[in-house]
A and B are shown apart, each in its own frame.
Chain A
Amino acid sequence: MDLPLDEIKEIRFSRKRVPISPELRPMYRISQIILILHLSSTKQTASLLKLQLFNWGLQNKGRYERLLKLKESSDFPIIRFDPFLNRALNYGVAMGVFLFNEKTGKFSLTEKGELLAQRILKEDVFLEEKKFLKAIKKSLSDAYILQLFKERYPS
C-alpha cells in the first residue's frame, strides 16, 4: 500500500485507554475479600493463605464444588497465588476497611469494612458468590487450611 508520506508532516501516537476485567478493579476485589471475611471467617479474620484459596475458588463457578468438598477430599487444590489479591489487600488496608495484624499475619475487617459488608449483602450484587459463601459458612478455619497445605507441600 502506498502511503502519502510526503504529505504527512508529523505522526503522533496517543495511548488509548484499554478495557480491563472487573476483577482488576480495586473496589470489586476488595468487596469480594470483605464478603470472604464477613461470611466465611471466624472473628472476621483470615490468613493470607485462606484468602488466596478462597480468592482462587471464587474465580469461576466450577471451583465452588472443590472448596465445598475440601473437607471430605482433604485434597488441597493447586492454586495460583494471585498478586492482584495482595495489591487489593494493600489498597483495602490503606482505605481503612482491613486491618493487618503484624503479630499473627492475619487480615481482619474494620468497622468501616463491616459497614460496607452490610451494604453489599443488601445490594443486588455477587448473588452467586454470596450463596456459595453462605453455604460454606465458617467451616474452613485458618488452622485446617494450613494443615492441609503442609500435608500436600511438605517443605
Chain B
Amino acid sequence: MNRIKLNHLKITIDTAEGIFGTDIPFQAGFNVLRARNTKGKSSTLNSILYVLGIEEMLGGRNAKTMKPVLKDKLSYKGKEIPILESKVQLEISNHKGDIITLTRWIKSSSIDEKLIRVHFGPQLSKEDKVNYKDYYVHIKGSASENAGFHAFLSNFLEWELPEVPTFDGGDRILYIQTLFPLFFVEQNKGWSSFYSPISGSFGIRDLSKRAFEFLLNMDVTKNTKEREELKIIKALLANKWSTLKQDLEQLAVAIHAEVPCLPEKPLLLDELSLNVYDDNKKLISIVDRIFQLESSIKEKENYSVVKISDVTSKYEKKVREQDLLVLQLQSEINSIRQDLHLERNNQHSMNENLKNLEVDLKRNQEAEKLYKLGSDVDSSFSQGICPTCNQHVEDSLMPPETSIQPLDLSENITFIKEQINTLKFGIKQSQKVIQNKQSKLAAISEHLDNARRELRLYKSELNENPQLPTKKELDKLVELKILLNKLYDVSSSFEKIEQRFEIIKEEWRGYLSRQAALPKDYFSELDKKKLTNFEKEFLTLLETFSFSSINTDEIAISHDKYTPIVSGFDIKFDSSASDNIRLIWSYVIAIYKTSQQFTGNHPGLMVFDEPGQQQMAVKSQKQLFEVLSKTKGQAIVGTSLEPEEIKEMTKNLTLNVIDLGEDYIIKPLTK
C-alpha cells in the first residue's frame, strides 16, 4: 500500500519584473529530476520538505531553511531581481485516491510562514473549485491538535503515530518529521549516515529506532509501552495489597485472631480467612465461632435457672477441676513468656549483628573506592601485584605464611550483602513469630482470667444461701453476649476487607493475563520475521549494487540499532566512499520493500537527491535506476547526469524523466 503520491510541485515567485518559478509534474513510479549542478535542483527537492512542514531535516525551522533565491532575490539574465512574495505548492494523493493541494508561503507580507493552506482537491494538475482550510506547523500542538497540520497529514495518510517514551520520563507522540530521514535522502546530510539527525528538540529516546519500528509496523513499540504500563499497574497493586494486609493484621490483633495465609505479594490466593481461638484454645474460623457462641447462648437461655442446693456436689467437683485448669493455664503462660523472651533476645542479637555487618559493608565499599582512587593515581596500586617484585600477592596484610586466600573485595562485598539479606529475612520471620506468640499469650491470659473468675464464683456460691439462683450462670450469659457482639463487629469489617480482596484479585488476574500475552523475548515472532526479511533484502541489494568493501556474508543487521554491523561492530563510514553510498541506497530501499511485504507504514515514497555521489560507478547507478523502476512505490531521484547518459542508463526501463534544462530552474512562468 502506497500511502502518499506526489502529483505536482510548483514554486511561484512574485517580483516587480513579473512572475517566476518552476512547475514540475510527477508521476507514479520512478521519476528522474534532471538539472545541471548548482541550478536549483536541491532547492526544488527541499521545497517538498518545506511545504510538508518537515524542513527541520534541513537544519532549522521556517523560511530561513530555504535558499535566498527563493526568498530574497533571484538573478535572471545577469540581473538581480528582488523577490516580493514566494510560495511552494504541492499536490498529493493518498492510497484512497483523495487529492489535496498544500500551499506554504516562503515570503509574504500578509501570511505567516507557519501556515499551511490545504485545498481539498487538485489545484495544480487541474484547477477545481474546492474548499480550503488553514493549518499550522511548529506551534504547540501541531502534531496532535485540530488546527495542527501534522495531525491533519498523519490522518490523511492514515498513519496512527504511537506514543513513545521521552527523556523526561513521559510519553510523546512520534512526530511525523522523525520518519522522513528513512525515506528522504537529502543532499547535505543524508549521505553521511543511515539516519541523519533532525534539528529540533523532540526529546524522544532512541528516535531512529522508534522511526524504523514504526515504518515496519513492528510490535516492539506497542509491547514496550505495554511493559511500562504493566510495571505501573504492578506497583499500584502491590501498594493496595500491602494496605489491605495492614488493615487485616490490625483487625486480627484487636481480637487476638490469626490470619493463616497472607503472602507478601498479591498472589492468587483463593480466599482470605480469619481464625480465632475457641473455648478449647483451638483456632477456628470466625464464622464458626459466632455460630458456636449463638448456640451456647440459646442453650443457656432455654435452661431453667439452676438452684445452688441442687448443684452443691457438682460445684465441688467443678472447683477442683477449675483449680487444675488455672494451674495448667498458668504454666502454659509461663512457657509462652519464656519463648517470647528468648525470641526477643534472638531478634535483638540479630539486629546487633545487622548493625555490625552494615558497618563492615560500608568499610568494604570504602576500600573499593580507595583501590579505584589508588589506581587512578598510579597503575602500580592495582590489587594483587607486589610493588617490589611485580609478582602476585594476596590482597591482604596477613603474612603469606598463613596462606589464607582472601576473597576479592567485590566478592567480599557480595558475601556481606548476602549475609545482610539473610539476617533481614530472619528478623522479619522472628517479628512474625513474636506477633503470633503475643496473640496467643493474650488469648490464654483472657482464658486464665475467665477461669479464675469462675473459680471465685463457684467458691463464693458454695458459701452463699443454697436457695439462690446461681449468679455464675447469669454472669456467663452476659459475658458470652458481649463477646458475641464484638465478633459481629469484626466479622462485618472482615467482610469489607474480603470485598476489597476480591477486587484486587480480579485486577491481579487481569495484570497476569496481560503479562502472559506479551512475548517473552523483546521481539515478537512477527518482528523477528520482519527483521530477517529486512536483512535479506538489504544484503541482496548490496550485492546488486556491487558493494565490495566487505564480504556481504559478514554483514548482519543489529537487532539493537537496526543498522548494519560487521562481526558485532557498526559498519564504519570510512572504508570506501562510494560503498557508503551503496549502503544507504540499500538501507532505504530495503526498508520500503520489507514494509511493502508486511503491510507496514512506509509511505511508499523514496527520494534520493544526487545518488551519484563520490564518483559512483555508472554501472551501479544503472542498477539503482533499474531497482527503483521495478519497485511499486514512487521514487524521485535528483541528478545532474547528462540527458544522453540518462537515456543510455535507462534503456528498456519505465520511468518519467523531468529535464529542467541547462539554465537556472527558476525562470519566468508563462500562464
Residues of A bordering B, CB below 8 Å: 15, 17-29, 31, 84, 87-88, 91, 94-96, 112, 115-116, 119-120, 123-126
Contacts and interface: CB of A to CB of B under 8 A. Distances in A.
Interface string B390-430: 00000111110000111111011001100000000000000
B416 A112 contact: no
B90 to A, nearest CB: 60
Given A19-B412, A19-B416, A20-B407, A27 B370 contact: yes
Given A95-B380, A119-B376, A18 B370 contact: no
A19 to B, nearest CB: 5
Given A19-B406, A28-B367, A95-B387, A112 B378 contact: yes
Contacts of B383: 27
A94 B388 contact: yes
Contact of A88 (B363, B364, B397, B415): B397
Given A17-B406, A20-B412, A123-B373, A25 B378 contact: no
B453 interface: no
A28 B408 CA distance: 14
Contacts of B396: 20, 24-26
A123 B407 contact: no
A116 B370 CA distance: 9
Contacts of A91: 387, 397
Given A20-B412, A123-B370, 8 more contacts: A18-B406, A19-B412, A24-B406, A25-B397, A27-B370, A28-B370, A112-B378, A120-B370
Contact of A22 (B366, B378, B398, B415): B366
B397 A125 contact: no
Ordered nearest first, which 9 A-B pairs have the shortest CB separation?
Answer: A94-B387, A125-B366, A28-B367, A22-B367, A84-B397, A22-B363, A20-B406, A95-B387, A17-B407
A26 B384 CA distance: 10
Contacts of A119: 373, 376-377
Contacts of A87: 397, 399
Instruction: Say what secondary structure dominates the interface of chain B.
Output: helix
Interface in B334-380: 360, 363-364, 366-367, 369-371, 373-374, 376-378, 380
Contacts of A17: 405-408, 411
Q: Which among B395, B396, B416 has the highest number of chain A CB atoms within 10 Å? A: B396
B397 A112 contact: no
A126 B366 contact: yes
Interface residues of B, number: 34
A27 B399 contact: no
Contacts of A27: 367, 370-371, 374, 381, 383
Nearest to B406: A20
A25 B387 contact: no
Nearest to A31: B370
Contact of A116 (B360, B373, B409): B373
Contacts of B373: 31, 116, 119-120, 123
Interface string B638-656: 0000000000000000000
A15 to B, nearest CB: 6
Nearest to A126: B366
Interface string B159-170: 000000000000
Contact of A28 (B366, B376, B378, B407): B366
A119 B372 CA distance: 11
A61 B397 CA distance: 22
Contacts of B381: 27, 95
A59 to B, nearest CB: 11
Q: Which among A15, A24, A27 has the highest number of chain B CB atoms within 10 Å? A: A27
Contacts of B374: 27, 31, 116
Given A24-B398, A25-B367, A91-B387, A112 B377 contact: yes
Contacts of A23: 363
21 contacts: A17-B407, A17-B408, A18-B405, A18-B406, A18-B407, A20-B398, A24-B397, A25-B396, A27-B374, A28-B366, A31-B373, A84-B397, A87-B399, A91-B387, A95-B381, A95-B387, A112-B378, A115-B377, A120-B373, A123-B373, A126-B366
Contacts of B408: 17
Contact of A18 (B387, B404, B416): B404
A90 to B, nearest CB: 9
B368 to A, nearest CB: 9
Nearest to B363: A22
Contacts of A88: 397
Q: Which among B383, B397, B405, B407 has the highest number of chain A CB atoms within 10 Å? A: B397
A57 to B, nearest CB: 16
Contacts of B412: 19-20, 22
A95 B409 CA distance: 20
A111 B572 CA distance: 45
Nearest to B364: A22
A103 to B, nearest CB: 23
A28 B412 CA distance: 14
A115 B373 CA distance: 10
Nearest to B396: A24
A118 to B, nearest CB: 9
A91 B397 CA distance: 9
B376 A25 contact: no
Interface string B69-105: 0000000000000000000000000000000000000
B388 A25 contact: no
Interface in B468-489: none
A125 B372 CA distance: 12
Q: Which among B376, B381, B399 has the highest number of chain A CB atoms within 10 Å? A: B381
A97 B395 CA distance: 18
A125 B370 contact: yes
Nearest to B416: A19
Nearest to A34: B370
Nearest to B404: A18
Nearest to A23: B363
Q: Which among B369, B371, B383, B405 has the highest number of chain A CB atoms within 10 Å? A: B369
